[in-house]
Amino acid sequence: MNKKTIFQEKYRGMIDQMVEIRKKLGWTQRDLASKLKVTHCCVGRVETYERRLDIMETIRWLRVLKLTDEEIIKFIEQIL
């Protein structure tokens, strides 16, 4: 039986990298939430693997985290 995506090691690694990027920018979860126009609880649920991002949300988050389109493609390629 396949594990749900949020329990897969690659997915968790992706989220961990996104958290690392957020922290390098010096942003809190509230800062990121404000830029994404979501609640800080939403950011917290994603960062604790309680909520799964789909590909469109992932790209949106990465853009808000100031990654270029080229960096986003590389980011996604490394987790495949």
For residue 57, give the DSSP letter.
H
What ranges do the domains of the chain cover? 5-79
Give the closest residue to 5 by CA, choosing from 48, 58, 52, 40.
52
Query: Quick one: pLDDT at residue 2?
Result: 59
Domain 5-79 = CATH 3.40.640.10: no
pTM (2 d.p.): 0.89
**11-26, pLDDT tens digit by residue?**
999 999 999 999 999 9
Query: Quick one: pLDDT at residue 8?
Result: 87
Is the predicted pLDDT of residue 1 greater than 60, yes or no? Answer: no
**30-69, pLDDT tens digit by residue?**
999 999 999 999 999 999 999 999 999 999 999 999 999 9
Contact 29, 73 (CB under 8 A): no
Q: How far apart are CA 5 and CA 36, in angstroms?
A: 22
